[in-house]
């Protein structure tokens, strides 16, 4: 950890001395704020209508009507925004020639990858934390269940961690940041639409495609269910991304 | 301090360097010379642990580059051809970062940064963003980062490339000053740089070692005779015969306006030649050695003269 910390610090400095982190965080907050406001507004109007009928009123649930759709919306925004955070991680080092400094220092390649990845996770955490601030008001003026709420944010964080793992891998393959972002975005979209293909598939294929889809694993978390298989899926996805990054860097040096 | 044995690097079918063996002694500045694509950068990248070799062995500061890469990286300061700086950082923050990844203890970090700033003459720009400093200062920052952990060996890949003449002189002075505490290996295209800065050279061409040694040694390898060119007020046969009568002189002849006087390499006849000029009042205007200059030496070695 001692060797990783300087890399994390340097990456955070790079994020926050360039406009990219500010833009990504601002746009994310703007969109999350908009969706939250819209959903609360819609929830209010529905709740008022349902209040006129006691049978329906039992079904009013802020977690299901506000937070579950909010988390789904945020997951799509993350899919669009996170490639912009990961695109520069290795691409820029390669382009600027600074990878020679890193790889000739006594810090190992794995420590460098982890340092960069953890820095991007800190930015992701900051984004999610800031987006959570307005939602806290629902706890002051309402009574949502905290567990599905917290699970939803944990799910978003794990989803983002998987996205960033993939993004780090693509950024290690090219020195062009745009190419890195487009490839990350394309791959994430592919994994997103796998669940659509899963609906039309049958038998084992359906299970495989559903298992591979990001969002199938996310659904349960928005309902407050933490399934170990979902946790394993996201963590192994992120780990696989970092493993491939290490392989790419080692291969490039050893070829 | 630096030693390679049959070092070979292949990129697929392309052989970048082949059976490279050379030695650099402690406390010397050694130049790595060669035409473009000769394998200089590949050699340096292998020595610094950036690239692995396909075959062979390399030792730096007593450590095997392939067996003990971390110890080698700790003992080496490296300035790649492209100065590895982060433009968004200040000079001080950047050097602090490099000190941390080079594992300088926290308690010594500030001292290490101050020392590197001092050596590289970065005091006027230490608080400035790297993107806002001149090319010459960026090069100095590159050298400062290579020295930050006080390594035993410093490897500089084309350290003066792209600099203006004044900056080149400054950087050469800086490199020369490193000799007291470090062993330096630098690659360059500039032959004058070698004569001004280096104690010796390794010359490679198409990935193969052509020659290695001090400039005097290499020059001597090509010459059987030593001698001087003389420019006198007047040069005629009578004057030539005066020199021919001098004991120990082998050959005297005119080359353009100059008289070339040669003797066996085991002797030094310069004093006698000057004395004769003064005693006979021959009007000595200029005298220079016939020793091969670096350009001649380089061209002969690279074109295969050493092998012949």
- The predicted-structure confidence for B218-255, as pLDDT tens digits, reads as follows 766 666 678 888 998 888 888 888 888 888 888 898 88
Q: Does B190 reach chain A within 8 Å, measured CB to CB?
A: no
pLDDT of residue B222: 67
Can you give the pLDDT of all 255 residues of chain A as single tens digits?
778 999 999 999 999 988 889 999 999 999 999 999 999 999 888 888 877 777 776 677 788 888 889 999 999 999 999 999 999 999 999 999 999 999 999 999 999 999 999 999 999 999 999 999 988 888 888 888 888 899 999 999 999 999 999 999 999 999 999 999 999 999 998 888 877 777 777 778 877 887 778 777 888 888 888 888 889 999 999 999 999 999 999 888 766
For chain B, which domains are there? 2-219 (3.40.50.300), 224-290 (3.30.70.100)
Q: Which two tokens stand for residue B144?
A: 């400062």
* Closest by Cα among B212, B223, B286 to B4: B212
The strand order across the sheet containing B63-64 reads B14-24, B2-11, B55-60, B63-64
C-alpha distance from A20 to closest chain B C-alpha (Å): 13
Rounded CA-CA distance B75/B153 in Å is 6
Q: Is B281 left (phi over 0), alpha (psi -120 to 50) or beta?
A: left
Nearest to B101 among A100, A105, A255 (CB): A105
For residue A170, give its domain range.
Answer: 4-254
Cβ-based contacts of A115 with chain B (< 8 Å) = none
- Residues in contact with B121: Cβ distance below 8 Å, sequence separation at least 6, in sequence order: B140, B170, B174
The two beta strands, B55-60 and B2-11, are antiparallel
Q: Does B54 reach chain A within 8 Å, measured CB to CB?
A: no
**DSSP string for B71-125:** HHHHHEEEE-SS----TTSBHHHHHHHHHHHTT--HHHHHHHHHHHHHHHT-GGG
pLDDT of residue B263: 86
Rounded CA-CA distance B118/B182 in Å is 16
Can you give the pLDDT of all 308 residues of chain B as single tens digits?
888 888 899 888 888 888 889 888 888 899 998 888 888 899 999 999 888 888 899 999 888 888 888 888 989 999 998 899 999 999 999 999 999 999 999 999 999 999 999 888 889 999 999 999 988 889 889 989 999 998 999 999 988 877 778 878 888 888 888 887 889 999 987 777 888 888 888 888 888 888 888 877 776 666 667 888 899 888 888 888 888 888 888 889 888 888 999 888 778 888 989 998 998 888 899 998 877 667 777 777 777 654 43
Cβ-defined contact of A100 to B84 (cutoff 8 Å): yes
pLDDT of residue B77: 92
Measured at the CA of A237, the angle between CA A234 and CA A242, to 5 degrees, comes to: 130
pLDDT of residue B76: 93
Interface of B with A in 80-139 (CB under 8 A): 80-89, 93, 97-98, 100-103
pLDDT of residue B307: 44
pLDDT of residue A255: 63
Interface of A with B in 83-122 (CB under 8 A): 96-108
> Could you tell me the pTM of the whole model?
0.83
Q: Which helix (H) or strand (E) holds B149?
A: none
C-alpha distance from A7 to closest chain B C-alpha (Å): 8
Interface of A with B in 6-35 (CB under 8 A): 6-7, 9-10, 13-14, 17-18
Question: How many separate domains does chain A show?
Answer: 1
Cβ-based contacts of B11 with chain A (< 8 Å) = 255
The strand order across the sheet containing B284-289 reads B249-255, B258-264, B225-232, B284-289
C-alpha distance from A5 to closest chain B C-alpha (Å): 9
Task: Classify residue B241 by burial, with Cβ atoms within 10 Å: 0-12, 13-18, 19+.
Answer: exposed
Rounded CA-CA distance A101/B77 in Å is 10
pLDDT of residue A78: 94
Q: Which two tokens stand for residue B181?
A: 């505490």
Collapsing DSSP states into helix, strand and coil, what is residue B184? strand
Nearest to B103 among A99, A104, A106 (CB): A106
């Amino acid at each position: 950890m001692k060797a990783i910390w300087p890399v994390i610090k340097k990456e955070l400095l790079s994020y926050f001395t360039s406009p990219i982190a500010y833009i990504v965080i601002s746009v994310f907050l703007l969109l999350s704020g908009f969706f939250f406001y819209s959903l609360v507004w819609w929830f209010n109007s529905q709740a008022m209508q349902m209040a006129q009928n006691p049978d329906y009123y039992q079904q009013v649930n802020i977690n299901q009507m506000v937070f579950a759709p909010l988390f789904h919306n945020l997951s799509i925004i993350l899919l669009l925004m996170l490639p912009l955070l990961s695109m520069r991680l290795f691409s820029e080092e390669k382009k600027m020639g600074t990878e020679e400094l890193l790889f000739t220092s006594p810090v190992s390649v794995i420590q460098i990858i982890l340092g960069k990845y953890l820095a991007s996770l800190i930015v992701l955490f900051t984004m999610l934390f800031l987006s959570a601030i307005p939602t806290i008001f629902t706890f002051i003026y309402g009574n949502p269940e905290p567990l599905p709420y917290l699970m939803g944010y944990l799910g978003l964080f794990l989803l983002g961690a998987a996205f960033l793992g993939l993004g780090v891998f693509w950024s290690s393959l090219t020195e062009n940041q745009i190419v890195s972002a487009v490839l990350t975005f394309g791959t994430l979209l592919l994994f997103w639409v796998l669940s659509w293909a899963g609906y039309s598939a049958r038998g084992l294929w359906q299970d495989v495609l559903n298992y591979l889809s990001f969002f199938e694993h996310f659904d349960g978390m928005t309902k407050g269910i933490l399934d170990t298989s979902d946790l394993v899926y996201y963590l192994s996805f992120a780990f696989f991304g970092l493993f491939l990054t290490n392989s790419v860097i080692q291969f490039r040096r050893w070829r | 301090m630096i030693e390679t044995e049959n070092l070979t690097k292949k990129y697929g079918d392309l052989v970048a360097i082949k059976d490279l063996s050379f030695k650099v002694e402690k406390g010397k500045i050694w130049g790595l010379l060669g035409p473009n694509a000769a394998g200089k950068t590949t050699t340096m990248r292998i020595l610094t642990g950036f690239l692995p070799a396909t075959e062979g062995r390399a030792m730096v500061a007593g450590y095997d580059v392939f067996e003990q890469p971390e110890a080698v990286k700790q003992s080496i300061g490296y300035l790649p051809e492209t100065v590895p700086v982060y433009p968004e950082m200040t000079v001080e923050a950047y050097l602090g970062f490099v000190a941390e990844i080079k594992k300088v203890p926290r308690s010594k970090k500030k001292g290490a940064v101050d020392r590197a700033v001092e050596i590289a003459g970065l005091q006027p720009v230490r608080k400035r963003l790297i993107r806002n400093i001149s090319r010459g200062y960026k090069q100095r920052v590159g050298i400062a980062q290579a020295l930050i952990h006080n390594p035993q060996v410093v490897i500089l890949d084309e350290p003066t490339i792209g600099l203006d003449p004044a900056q080149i002189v400054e950087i050469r002075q800086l490199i020369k000053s490193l000799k007291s505490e470090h062993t330096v290996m630098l690659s360059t295209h500039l032959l004058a740089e070698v004569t001004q800065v280096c104690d010796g050279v390794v010359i490679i061409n198409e990935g193969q070692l052509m020659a290695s040694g001090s400039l005097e040694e290499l020059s001597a390898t090509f010459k059987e005779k030593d001698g001087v060119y003389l420019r006198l007020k007047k040069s005629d046969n009578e004057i030539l015969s005066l020199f021919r009568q001098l004991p120990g002189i082998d050959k005297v002849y005119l080359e353009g306006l100059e008289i070339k006087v040669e003797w066996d390499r085991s002797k030094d006849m310069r004093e006698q030649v000057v004395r004769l000029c003064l005693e006979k009042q021959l009007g000595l205007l200029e005298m220079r050695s016939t020793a091969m200059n670096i350009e001649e030496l380089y061209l002969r070695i690279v074109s295969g003269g050493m092998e012949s």
